[in-house]
Amino acid sequence: MTTAIPGGGIADPGTLLVSDLDGTLLRSDGTLGLRTIQVVNRFVELGGQFTVATARSFTSAAAVTKELMLTLPVITYGGAIVVDPRSGQSRAAVKGQ
């Protein structure tokens, strides 16, 4: 079953969306817009899965995404480290063999 999200989009529960921050999710002033916060959080409330992937450190990413309902691991340092946004615990990404 698909669910309508603000702005007219639809999403199947469990849909995974991953976004970069700089030049993508963030405005030119480096902040999240109110509409972006509302849409992302509503998407998560409706069963969508959302996280970010960035070249930033977790500390820097967390500072600009604190208003988002992030529960999935956040991908930082260009994929080198993933961090649980709830606990702040990090671990090195495992390189495939």
The answer to whether position 31 is within a domain reads yes
Does the pLDDT at position 2 exceed 80?
A: no
C-alpha Rg value of the chain to the nearest Å: 14
Distance CA 80, CA 9 (A): 32
Domain of 28, in residue numbers = 14-92
How far lies 29's CA from each of 3, 32, 55, 56, 78, in Å? 32, 9, 17, 16, 21
Instruction: Compare 97 and 84 and report the one with higher pLDDT.
Output: 84
| CATH number of the domain within which 87 lies | 3.40.50.1000
pLDDT digits (tens, 9 = 90+) for 8-49: 566 677 899 999 999 999 999 999 999 999 999 999 999 999
Q: Characterize 4-29 residue by residue with b for buried, 16 or more Cβ atoms within 10 angstroms of its Cβ, and e for exposed.
A: ebeeeeebeeebeeebebeeebbeee
Per-residue model confidence (pLDDT) at position 78: 94
Q: Look at residue 59 in the predicted model and tell me its pLDDT.
A: 96
pTM of the model: 0.82
Are the CB atoms for 32 and 67 separated by under 8 Å? Answer: yes
Q: How much of the chain exceeds pLDDT 90, in percent?
A: 77
Indicate whether 6 belongs to any domain. Answer: no
How many domains would you assign to the chain? 1
